[in-house]
């Protein structure tokens, strides 16, 4: 498994530690987006028009830097989900219905068009449930350390303890 950036780790922590996911075992993609990225509590929302196959990011701020930062945040999240899906680490199952527009406040002053392949991924996966694999859950719960890294750390600790004990026994043998 590759190393994840701080932003990606935050996204995965939010996904795995979601109350809905813990209770139901899967989470509707829109619910995940609205809980952690979009909606009335955040400064951005997503607008999806399945008729024209267009996706827009609606951002509250007029500040160009804030708009770029928000756009990058969304692209990082979608790219991460796309990569994990391609690796088979998460699955998107079911399709609830065709989405016209996600709920939440729309900010007309700053619409950013999301291009391909991100827009097609969103159009295809909105309405589906996210089902993370057990491998991803274990990885997140182990603070993004895989089993080899955990075993290596345990071996190193055991080796240090063994060296300390042998030094202690050697010193005791010299003085007593």
- Among 114, 124, 112, smallest CA distance to 29 is for 124
pLDDT in tens, 28-70: 888 888 888 886 677 788 888 777 888 888 887 777 888 888 8
Q: How far is CA 96 from CA 28, 31, 103, 108, in A?
A: 9, 12, 15, 28
Give the pTM: 0.76
Asked whether 2 and 12 are in contact (CB, 8 A), the reply is no
Give the pLDDT of residue 105: 56
Residue 159 has pLDDT above 90, yes or no: yes
Q: How far is CA 142 from CA 18, 126, 137, in A?
A: 16, 29, 9
46 backbone dihedrals φ, ψ, rounded to 5°: -120, 140
């Amino acid at each position: 498994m590759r190393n994840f950036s701080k932003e990606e780790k935050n996204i995965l922590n939010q996904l795995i530690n979601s109350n809905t996911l813990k209770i139901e075992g899967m989470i509707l993609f829109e619910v995940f987006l609205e809980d952690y990225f979009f909606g009335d509590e955040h400064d951005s929302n997503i607008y999806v028009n399945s008729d024209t196959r267009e996706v827009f990011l609606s951002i509250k701020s007029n500040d160009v830097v804030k708009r770029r930062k928000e756009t990058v945040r969304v692209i990082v999240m979608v790219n991460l989900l796309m990569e994990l899906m391609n690796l088979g680490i998460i699955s998107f199952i079911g399709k609830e219905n065709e989405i016209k527009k996600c709920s939440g406040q729309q900010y007309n002053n700053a619409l950013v068009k999301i291009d391909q392949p991100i827009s097609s991924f969103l159009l295809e996966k909105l309405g589906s449930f996210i089902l993370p694999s057990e491998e991803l859950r274990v990885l997140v719960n182990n603070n993004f350390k895989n089993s080899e890294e955990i075993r290596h750390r345990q071996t190193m600790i055991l080796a240090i303890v063994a060296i300390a004990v042998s030094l202690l026994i050697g010193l005791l043998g010299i003085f007593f």
